[in-house]
Structure 1
Amino acid sequence: MTDDDLLPRDDTGFDRVLAFSVPARSVRGRMVRLGPVLETVLSAHDYPRVVKHVLAEALVLTALMGSLLKEEHAQLTFQAQAEGGAVDLLVCDYRNGEVRGYLRHDSAKVGALEENCSLETIFGKGYLAITFDLPTTKERYQGVVPLEGDSLAHACENYFAQSEQVPTLIRIAVRSNGPRCSAGGMLLQHLPDGEEGRARLHAQEQHPDWEHAAIIAGTVQDGELVDPVLSLEQLVWRLFHEESEVRVEPLLPLQRGCRCTVEHYLSVLSGFPEDQLADMRDDDGTIPVDCAFCSKILRVPA
């Protein structure tokens, strides 16, 4: 019997985000565990095992970072583009607890990949772009870093160090069990003066509070991140139970959030001139739109 068999699929620690903080150490964090939502996203395409794990890791990272957004309807987009490798495009986004993702790959090159290969082997040379869209102020922030390191998690740590100057530790685990796939992750950050304003000016990798918290968090095991019987609250307590105070807050439950509706595409197509729309229409008067995220073709009467 596997851990997945111990609890019903709708009564596990899957598809959850937990916010936590350790005030005495001036750190905040997120815990994420994906199960059925991850399987739904991955089922849209017949992904080989290696790239399936890459997309699963990216979806966990997207949920971890996206859940840091406080503004309603704000969106985080996680995009990797590269050339020379087996994968040339990966796109995920998060908005209001909804995640979606897509990966484009070369089947022949993927067939030559081995398990646990490096980012450079998978992607070749490329970059990772993290974009924050804030609808209230209509502002957009983007940070771009090279696709370097052993994993996407390492690339994201580099993003936070270079673009936001925030010491960050990220741990991701992906587990496949036949057709089933689950994944979990933890993000920990040092914010010694709080989360607002000039808080990040004094964040230091060598700060003793950060060093202590990072060492403790770094002991988390892959099995703990994906174990549905171990709640996210229990995992945070297991790591930081010696601290004087640990605060936790469950956030929005996660769900697959593809926005491929006729209404959505009508709004997108409304910005095109009539001559371009005429070129797109089929003989029946509709425009076929292929959604890469969910592998559906919608016929839009535009």
Structure 2
Amino acid sequence: MQNETFGDRILNFTLPARNARGRLIRLDETLDTILSAHAYPPVIRDLLTEALVVTALIGSLLKEDDSQLTMQAQTQDGVVKLLACDFRNGELRGYVQHDEDRLAELGAEPSLGELFGQGYLAVTFDLAATGERYQGVVPLEGHSLAQVCESYFERSEQVPTLIRIAITSGMAAGLLVQHLPDGEEGRERLHVRMDHPEWEHVAIMAESLGADELLDARLPLEDLLWRLFHEEPEIRVAPGLSVNRGCRCSVIHFENVLSRFPAEERKEMRDENGIILVDCAFCSRQFAIQD
């Protein structure tokens, strides 16, 4: 194995003998760039950090260029009003809207339920080649967003999945592993079983991964993968996408969006100078659109 994958790049791998695939990632500079757009309190900062890592891990499973993975949680009664992240071609972005006053009442370590109330997470895949979109929706139940996404794959995809996330100041890292019911390409379909012996073995090995290992910036992801699965007869490794903050806001983009509104509605949006001011929640920039 070549020791080459460190921060802001995804490592793809498969375990052919176990019919399993996975992703490893560490985010550092990209994470800081995204988070610095807003002055998030620590709890919200950690929540968005976890969401960004999970979004990059799941988004990197898409095989087609320009396909997009979007994760969105929106609630009516929660402290967090909206959480939105997406990943496309290595471009990652996300933001959170929350009620600061209600958040202050929750204490230092609120649960997922306290943050979201009776909320749901929507996971949406937009496939570039076919234009097809499909979506799964799962309740925001559990201890973490990673656990919610594991439930999504179990309920919507029937794919056994394990996700592990570790967060520290200035860095976050994650591991995703899945058991594939189709096995290797060209092989006969396997029966989907959450308790399949092959999957149980992979899950036990993956669960042994410590947060300190995930967050060790000196440890290449290839070496980390080898520590976990060195007893396997074969580990196939492929460098994945580099990851960067990819906000796609621009004057042209917002002009196109505004053009979809009726003329009367656009008129109401203008200021006294005929300008429509548009805020991008992802990067906290403001655009002046001449209508």
**What range is the shorter-chain TM-score in?**
over 0.9
Change (3 A) 1:169 1:72: same
Pairing 1:1-302 to 2, within 5 Å after superposition: 13-176=6-169, 181-194=170-183, 202-302=191-291
* TM-score scaled by length of structure 1: 0.91
Q: State the distance in 2 between where 1:283 and 1:170 align.
A: 51
After superposition, give the CA deviation of every residue in 1:48-103 in whole Å (9 maximum; x if it has no partner).
Answer: 00110000000000000000001110011001112333212100000000000010
Deviation at 1:111, TM superposition (A): 1.8
Shift of the alpha carbon at 1:195? 6.4
Separation (CA, whole Å) in 1 of partners of 2:5 and 2:66: 27
Equivalent pair of 1:48/1:110 in contact (CA under 8 Å): no
Give the stretch that moved more between structures: 35-44 or 270-279: 270-279
Measured on the aligned residues, the alpha-carbon RMSD in Å equals 1.9
What is the percent sequence identity of the aligned residues? Answer: 58
Distance 2:154 2:98 in 1: 29
Secondary structure, aligned partner of 1:63: helix
Counterpart residue type for residue 270 of structure 1: S
Distance in 2 between residues matched to 1:61 and 1:200, nearest whole Å: 27
Amino acid corresponding to residue 120 of structure 1 in structure 2: G
Tell me how far apart the structure 2 counterparts of residues 115 and 123 of structure 1 sit (CA, whole Å). 16
Q: Distance in 2 between matches of 1:95 and 1:58?
A: 15
Question: 2:182 is paired with a residue of what secondary structure?
Answer: coil
Q: Partners in 2 of 1:229 and 1:160 — Cα distance? A: 32
CA distance in 1 between counterparts of 2:96 and 2:26 reads: 20
Using the TM superposition, give the Cα deviation of residue 139 of structure 1 relative to its aligned residue in structure 2, in angstroms.
Answer: 0.8
2:138–2:151 Cα contact (<8 Å) kept: yes
Q: How does the TM-score come out when normalised to structure 2?
A: 0.94
Q: 1:39 to 1:201 in 2, by over 3 A?
A: same
Aligned counterparts of 1:51 and 1:67: Cα–Cα separation in 2? 24
**Structure 2: 5+ residue stretches without partners:** none
1:142-197 residue CA offsets vs partner (Å, 9 max, x unmatched): 00000000000000000000000000000001112xxxx21110000001433669
* Aligned length, in residue pairs: 288
Amino acid at match of 2:65: E
Q: Tell me the SS of whatever aligns to 2:149.
A: helix
Q: Is the 8 A contact 1:169 1:187 kept in 2?
A: yes
